[in-house]
Amino acid sequence: LAKAVYFEARGEPLQGQLAVAEVVMNRAASGRYPASLCEVITQPWQFSFIHKGRFPTPDFGSESWRKAVAVARIAQGHLADTLPGDVLWYHADYVSPSWGKRLTKTAQIGLHIFYS
């Protein structure tokens, strides 16, 4: 989960990083996606930083990594309440995926738009 936060949202405000983590957590709890966080994250074509099912290596010594780990712990402890539990999708605001048209926009936080 920390790697997803790091690679998908490390330049975002704290609320945006928490929201990305919550989408992963929501997917795992939804019954529509695998129950494992790793399986949710490594599903093909779901997260832009995953290539051929593999995680890239973050800069483990960076402040961004330490923050991503903290955000993941908060999300896994169910201590964040940034988004409703039915929010399962997001994308960067500089792209317009076709699937976004059939979903309900729930929030925009930083550069990400979230949908239920």
Amino acid at 61: G
Rounded to a whole number of angstroms, the distance between the first and last alpha carbons of the chain is 20
50-70 tens-digit pLDDT: 988 888 999 999 999 999 999
Residue 53 falls in which region: left (phi positive, over 0), alpha (psi -120 to 50) or beta: left
Spans of the chain, pLDDT less than 70:
none
Indicate the domain borders of the chain: 2-85
Centre a 10 Å sphere on the Cβ of residue 29 and count the other Cβ atoms it contains: 14
For all residues of the chain together, what is the average pLDDT? 95
Predicted pLDDT at 65: 98
CATH superfamily of 2-85: Cell wall hydrolase SleB, domain 1 (1.10.10.2520)
Residue 58 CA, distance from chain mean position: 16
Predicted pLDDT at 56: 94
